[in-house]
Amino acid sequence: MNADKDLIQDRIDIVETLARYVRDVDDHEVEKVADLFTATGALQIHTRTGRQPYQKLGEAFVGREGLRELAKSWPRERVAMHRTSDHIVRIDGDGAELSARFIVVDLTDDRRIEGSGISAYTVQLGGQYEATLLKADGEWRFTRLDIRISGPLG
C-alpha cells in the first residue's frame, strides 16, 4: 500500500513541477525556472505547420546558464498565462516521462466583448510538452523538456 501512495505522490509532484515551470515562466522568475532543471538539463523548442513533422527551432538550451540565456528572449512587456492539461505521466523508479498539452493566453491586450464588459483575451500559441524528469534528494527536476509548438512563431 505504501508503494501505491508513493507512486501517487510522485505523480502529483511531477505534474506540480510542470505547474511551477509555467507559472515561473509567466512571472519571469528566471532563477526559479532554472532550478526546476538538473544541472545538465536541456530545453528544446520545436515548431510545425499544420500536421507536418516538428522541426527544431535552433539549438537546445543546456544547463542552468543556457536557460538563463533563453530567458533573455522573453518579452518583458507581454503578460501571458500558460494553461496545461491532459497530463500523462509514466514513472520508473527515480525517472519519469511527462506529456501534457498547453495553450498560452495573451493577457496584454484587454479587449472587451462588445456590450458585455467581459475581457476577450487571445490564445497566443499552443502545443505539447514532452519531458523527462529525475528524482534526486526528494525533488523532481527536468533532465529534458521539449516544447512542441503547433504552428509557426512570429
pLDDT tens figures, 67-111: 988 887 877 777 889 999 999 999 999 999 999 999 998 887 767
Does residue 7 surpass a pLDDT of 80? yes
Q: Which domains does the chain have, with CATH numbers?
A: 2-150 (3.10.450.50)
Work out the pLDDT band at 112, boundaries 50, 70, 90.
low
Helices and strands in the chain, H and E counts: 3, 7
Four-residue CA torsion sign, 146, 140, 41, 75: positive
- 140 near 10, Cβ under 8 Å? yes
pLDDT value at residue 153: 63
